[in-house]
A and B are shown apart, each in its own frame.
Chain A
């Protein structure tokens, strides 16, 4: 019962958040200068042509009226038609979403593995040079933002020592027809190892750029949390029972230490998804973020709105998953 109520509250607050986002985006992109219609038409177009097209897209009405019309359509699942690409926004956006999801999840996986390993290492060898190395490494990784890491990686592995693909999502020469846009997921299911290799080769650099700062955050937080947990009585007790130091860290301390880290990683993951906008551009990766930049350049109002709403939805979803995981991993809440 309490669970159902908290779920309903969640749903309502999500709806309110999305509505707020929609209002802000709607107003902001109409207030900034730049006329999408004028950009569509060839230079010789007459004022009458512009007015006709403006009416077709509804831009001749007041912002308030436009918003009501747009909202009415959205409720029915219609996000309008892209001005620059002349296709339904929902179709465009959903086609690109899998690419961004795969990239973000890959980056998150790398960050968790890398940051987790660093935290465990720093805890196992605390008080030694190894811990110092972890601290310094994490500090440095954190002081450089993801897009600069992207540039560094491009210079290193794209220019100086070109072993990875630094452009696109997949080699065009590859002979495969996908039935979904989840290329990596599908390639794994179909056991096409050549395709998996090619996809990973394209993804690794942008994913790494996104992952490095998050890995550093995880390393610092988890190590701190582990350190505090290592002083607790039940960890000491496990030690007196003959367990080795790393068995104590992994089996006794870790399950508790991940809890405070988890919440923050959730928040940071939404930042990471935001980071895909620039990183995808940098690596010409055909995802949502790359499309978002084109949409802004072309003043493609319906498309911008659609993408922003989708990002907002994604963020709330991530938070929901984190909250659920927290309950699953924490027995004190599971039975409450």
Chain B
């Protein structure tokens, strides 16, 4: 790795800091501007002002706002988020340790589905431009893009667990297997493989299908369309004509030459879409009672649990930042024209 490439990576990492900072600052203040607070949201209006003040003091909410803010920044910096402010006030770190793996286990297959299906069907549509399959795929991309996640999820639930009961309705695994299952990393699929618990693995995968397909499909639309447009452009480039003139088969030109060139701009797009994927995960987890970060976030927003919400958003922001850095590094490796 050259020195300039290292500099590039360092600069790129440094550049994500303001992004994360702005986001968590925003969340910090928006939470406090919203009506309601962690005490009233839990105990209701019946609690006396005195009691409320006592709790406020315990949670540190009576301190000046700027102190609370810098305190929170310190928590993010050390990745030691402190305790939640509601519902048992569990350490947020413990909560994240259980829920983050669940969210990753959901989003990774979803992302793979989105990227692979989106890119290949986009390339296919470009190859068969203006043919029925092209129109069909474009229509499909609009439909899945326009359908709200929860509606698509609900539709799947009705179809595949109620009408045609082949898949479990919700949750991460069958409750009957929980007693036999011993998580190690909290990445359940991985744990099931590590402990050779095949019934659990089967149940986990069955539970994973609907939520990950739902989440994956919703983001497929933009990928499909972007790939298609880029491919059509690439297929008009001189080097494709030149390849055709050399007798290179059309399929090879489309799925190798053109796709490899098209993939480079699409890669950047993956980074951008990752934020949307997390947003989609929040809704998917709620729809499918998936015990991940998203569902945690939704319940804690309702409870005005400042600390928990801030921390989850900070983790999301760090993730999005990390992914975008990773994408840029990958970009440098994939595109031979980019050399540092």
A binds B: no
A contacts, CB < 8 Å to B = none
B contacts, CB < 8 Å to A = none
